[in-house]
């Protein structure tokens, strides 16, 4: 029974971290299905985290300045409105950053790897600048009130979370976890069950063939990369608002974007597998806090996700299974005149 309780506790504790990973991974899967390899996910998630927090923080300051104070002494801000503002700000900032990446790699046809790495540096710098600007202007720590922190982190099913065993696992999470699951399922259905999804996959596999069939390659690449970047940015916002306690920390997001890129490979470019894959990665990343083995260094726990990803990548390559391979045109620019 103690082992079961430990596993349940580990699973529940892993979900906030897993939610950010799920969104980052799902967004990158959508992008890569179009043939664009965006290695700037780390920077995009930084931007999403900074602008998502900035939006919610500005909203709360505006409510406070208007004189709306609750009985607790905190600003009488609405948790629902704050969540919506944070999502919009994060998505918009990530989409704009991805639009810049798209223009450079699709229109100007620059090297995708170099551009993605540049976006990581650019996005991290913009995110840190935004966070530090808020901190300096505020004259101290930038953090939401306890009321809004609770709104971002509380579970939405209340008493259902108290059901033995399955309650904490299925119903003990915040709204972002269920939103991430819905997004992952929606993108899977879009890719596998719709005509536009088939067109997008065709663009990722062979843009020349798709172009010959009358599919607008540029439009699909722009749309998938921009929307995917916006989804990944929401993951950065979720991490800051939940795991980082809705408080700005310039090192709070370090490495999450790279883990999302690794998780894309682990999930074999399948959004449904990103659901349980992100939960597994989240559990592996916090295992050293929940399952302590004195003879095992903490660093061993932290490299487990990367070791697992490497093993899966090698195994997939050896099987030579088409369904478990990346899109054929991934990372390659399309030159229509060479069709």
Residue 196 Cα distances to 50, 186, 222, 317, angstroms: 33, 13, 14, 28
pLDDT tens, position by position, 269-314: 999 999 998 988 888 877 777 676 667 777 777 777 778 777 776 7
Instruction: Tell me the mean pLDDT in the region 226-233.
Output: 97
Whether 52 and 237 have beta carbons less than 8 Å apart is answered as yes
Domain with 95, as residue range(s), is 2-338
DSSP 65-115: HTT-B-TTSSB---HHHHHHHHHHHHHHHHHHHHHHHHIIIIIS---HHHH
Number of domains in the chain: 1
SS3 246: coil
List the CATH number of the domain containing 71: 1.10.3470
Give the pLDDT score at 322.
66
pLDDT over threshold 60, residue 72? no
Whether 247 and 50 have beta carbons less than 8 Å apart is answered as no
Between 155 and 41, the more confident residue is 41
Q: Minimal CA–CA distance to 185: which of 256, 275, 249?
A: 275
């Amino acid at each position: 029974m103690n082992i079961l309780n430990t596993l349940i506790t580990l699973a529940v504790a892993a979900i906030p971290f897993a939610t950010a990973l799920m969104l980052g991974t799902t967004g990158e899967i959508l992008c890569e299905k179009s043939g664009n390899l965006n290695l700037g996910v780390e920077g995009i998630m930084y931007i999403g985290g900074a602008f998502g927090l900035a939006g919610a923080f500005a909203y709360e300051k505006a409510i406070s300045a208007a004189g709306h104070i609750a009985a607790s002494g905190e600003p009488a801000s609405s948790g629902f409105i704050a969540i919506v503002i944070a999502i919009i700000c994060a998505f918009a900032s990530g989409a704009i950053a991805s639009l810049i990446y798209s223009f450079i790699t699709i229109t100007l046809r620059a090297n995708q790897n170099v551009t993605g790495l540049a976006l990581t540096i650019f996005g991290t710098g913009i995110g840190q600048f935004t966070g530090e600007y808020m901190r300096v202007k505020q004259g101290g720590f930038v953090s939401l009130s306890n009321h809004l922190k609770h709104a971002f982190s509380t579970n939405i099913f209340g008493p259902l979370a108290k059901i033995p065993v399955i309650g904490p696992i299925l119903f003990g999470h915040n709204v972002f976890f269920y939103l991430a699951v819905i997004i992952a399922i929606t993108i899977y259905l879009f890719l596998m069950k719709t005509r536009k999804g088939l067109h997008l996959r065709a663009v990722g596999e062979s843009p020349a063939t798709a172009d010959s069939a009358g599919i607008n390659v540029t439009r699909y690449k722009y749309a998938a990369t921009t929307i995917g970047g916006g989804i990944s940015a929401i993951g950065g916002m979720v991490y800051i608002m939940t795991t980082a306690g809705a408080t700005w920390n310039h090192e709070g997001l370090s490495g999450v974007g790279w883990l999302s890129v690794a998780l894309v490979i682990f999930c074999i470019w399948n959004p449904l597998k990103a659901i349980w894959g992100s939960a597994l990665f989240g559990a592996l990343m916090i295992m050293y806090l929940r399952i302590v083995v004195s003879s095992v260094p903490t660093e061993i726990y932290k490299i487990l996700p990367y070791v697992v990803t490497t093993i899966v990548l090698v195994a997939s390559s050896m099987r030579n299974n088409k369904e478990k391979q990346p899109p054929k045109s991934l990372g390659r620019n399309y030159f229509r005149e060479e069709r």
